[in-house]
Amino acid sequence: MAKIKKKGTSGQAKNYITRTQAVRKLQISLPDFRRLCIFKGIYPREPRNKKKASKTSTPNTTFYYTKDIQYLLHEPLLNKFRDQKALAKKIARSLGRGEVSDASRLEKNHAPKLTLDHVIKERYPTFVDALRDLDDALSLLFLFATLPSTNHVPPKTIALCQRLCHEFQHYLIVTNSLRKSFLSIKGIYYQATIQGQDIMWLVPYRFVQRVNGDVDYRIMATFVDFYTTLLGFVNFRLYSTIGLRYPPKFDTRSDENGAELAAFTLEGRAVGETPKALEASKLQTNGSSKEISREVQDKVDKVIKTAGLNQTKDEQTAETTEESTDAIDRFEPAAPEADTLPQPDMSGNEAGSLFAPFTFYVSREAPKAPLEFILRSFGCKRIGWDAVLGDGAFTHDETDSRITHQIVDRPQLPESSLPAIPAAKDDGAAPKVKPGTRIPGRTYVQPQWIWDCVNEGKLLRADLYAPGATLPPHLSPWVKPTRGGYDPRATLAEQEEEGEAEEAAEGGDSDEEMEDEAPEAQKAVDASDKSEDESVDGGMDVAGTDDDESDSEDEDEDEEKDFNGLEENEATSESEDEDEAARTQHQKELEAEAAGLPFSSSGATDEASKKKSSQSKKLAAKKRKEDEELERQKMMMSRKKRKLLEKMMYSNKKQSDEAAKLRSKRRKLEKGAQE
């Protein structure tokens, strides 16, 4: 007889363990268990069958993999947590005895320090793995860098987050790794490309933050501890790859004066030669192969010349290929109706030369921190701002003749409403300029011009972004227009379907008429429904009666007549419509004659209405034929393919309906602007 297998010793009951059992097995508190799981990257799991996985009948149970908990048993951090617990007992005992000095001494000298270096090495065996997991880290650290200091968020944590974020920004500035940015409601999105990995993070706007008690800052502080260690490792590796010393020099006094990025001083190689240092490794690997290929090419050329062959065409093609390899390849579709292939981003050299020849001045109302970061990332070396915004500017003088572009974010105001110019002081400060004045020879733009130029990879027209002008739509650079979707950059004529504009015009003219006719039509429908209900005995249909059979036969005959004589019915309907149009025209002429008004535009309006009606009928007939053809094709399909086709048609129709709604809104806006 086989051995009886006990319940809960195999299968899902063995593979999963509850949180309570895990805490008991590790012999730590629940907050320490949460911290340990966050550090090690262990998360709850959902079993397929909770009844089989749990030995109890509690429905709301959190499960973990048993192997993950077994892995935590050998974690060195467990000893640190137990030491902290023992120290907390000693401090509580000292405070209970009234020995405050002993308690402070224990907390200061004997507190165990947690180091997460080994955790980072375990979770990220390669540097590329760390770069791939950097999105959430940067978003959370930039968030904590803008929070005010409270009991939950100490100032040391905020200062550490700010320093690490500024160090990461300096690497992006030196290497020109920033590629795209987008202004959204949540904040500013940035995307950088580092060693072939696209990293995207979110930076909140610098508004006054109100820290609420709804957020559990203990869990967020645990993530901050882990992410600060991770970003410190990443910054060290990034700086060492380009030959810069880490950490960079940090001037505390200039940082207190609002210098931010300018408070750091990079040391190592010449900072201007850093992009060349990045290309040095590529040149070293490719240099030997190029020299060998040149020697081989020279030998081949000698052989060809001795043979009397012409090599001019081959030399031209070789030169063109060598020249073309310097630029980034562009992928063109093979056919005009094919899908658009994703194009590669700009290179570091192109990004570093976008704003290089310009000198910018940031006005007081514009956001200085994001503008400085983006401008420096794309090659601008000289940026000035008012002294109120902090230190580190190229110039505080707004009247400096070297300034080529000024970023303004205030509307145009009349001169009478502008305040007076403050009196100049003799302390050597920069002279004040009256707000709203324009210095000749300088281009004034709104901040959106910077972001749109960065996303497009080229300089756009500055007059479209002049102060007080209606700005073009700021679109996300990561959302590409799809076929059949709405594209706000294209005109309505390019996106509208066949006959959509005519239908919209007819619908706009007949909206008021439809609103007037709607109540009367509803009354007629209600009356007809009541009469039909009263005509049937008891309001129910009896199956199998002679009347039903005769009705069905009549309906079949009518359908056959309609199918056979479709063209005749269309011809008769067209003639009836023409007669009705003639009657309405005659009625309008009589009303105009009775009122003593001329009726001269009747012919033109009638012709236009006839053209619109004929076009709408043609479109309706074409659509009807397409629907009939589609139904015939669906009848020849299998059930599985038919269901798949219906799902595709549903999703396409939903997308087209949304695009049509957006086009109608745009059509109304343009019509209102013209009026």
User: pLDDT value at position 565?
Assistant: 47
Contact 622, 448 (CB under 8 A): no
**Over the stretch 17-71, which tens digit does the pLDDT of each residue have?**
999 999 999 999 999 999 999 999 999 998 888 878 877 666 678 899 999 999 9
Kindly write down the DSSP assignment for every residue of 269-334, as one continuous string.
S-GGGHHHHHHHHHHHHHHHHHHHHHHHHHHHHHHHHHHT---HHHHHHHHHHHHHTTSPP-PPPS
Domain's final residue, options 109, 141, 176: 109
**Over the stretch 221-272, which tens digit does the pLDDT of each residue have?**
999 999 999 999 999 999 999 999 999 999 988 888 888 899 999 988 645 5
Task: Give the type of residue at 108.
Answer: K
Question: Are residues 472 and 450 part of one domain?
Answer: yes
Cα-to-chain-centroid distance, residue 265:
33
Strands 188-194 and 178-183: antiparallel
Domain's final residue, options 79, 109, 139: 109
Question: Are residues 202 and 149 part of one domain?
Answer: yes
* For residue 613, pLDDT beyond 60: yes
262 in any annotated domain: yes
Question: Are residues 143 and 99 part of one domain?
Answer: no
Specify burial of residue 224 (Cβ count, 10 A radius: 0-12, 13-18, 19+): buried
- Structural domain boundaries, residue 195: 117-268
Question: Are residues 178 and 296 part of one domain?
Answer: no
User: pLDDT value at position 333?
Assistant: 64
Cα-to-chain-centroid distance, residue 646:
30
pLDDT mean across residues, the chain: 78
Exposure string for 572-582, b = 16+ CB within 10 A, e = fewer? eeeeeeeeeee
305 in any annotated domain: yes
**Over the stretch 91-104, which tens digit does the pLDDT of each residue have?**
999 999 998 999 99
> Strand runs (DSSP E) across 352-504, as ranges?
359-362, 382-385, 405-407, 443-445
| CATH assignment at residue 457 | 3.40.50.10190
| Residue among 238, 263, 130, 225 nearest 175 (CA) | 238
According to DSSP, the residues that pair with 203 across neighbouring strands are 188
63 in any annotated domain: yes
CA distances from 238 to 12, 163, 245 (A): 44, 15, 10
Give the pLDDT mean for 530-536: 46
pTM listed for this prediction: 0.71
* For residue 322, pLDDT beyond 70: no
User: pLDDT value at position 538?
Assistant: 43
User: pLDDT value at position 630?
Assistant: 87
Question: Are residues 404 and 313 part of one domain?
Answer: no
Q: In what order do the strands lie in the sheet with 178-183?
A: 178-183, 188-194, 197-203
Question: Are residues 468 and 386 part of one domain?
Answer: yes
User: pLDDT value at position 226?
Assistant: 96
Q: What are the start-end ranges of the H helices in 98-216?
A: 100-109, 117-123, 127-132, 134-145, 155-175
Question: Number of folded domains in the chain?
Answer: 4
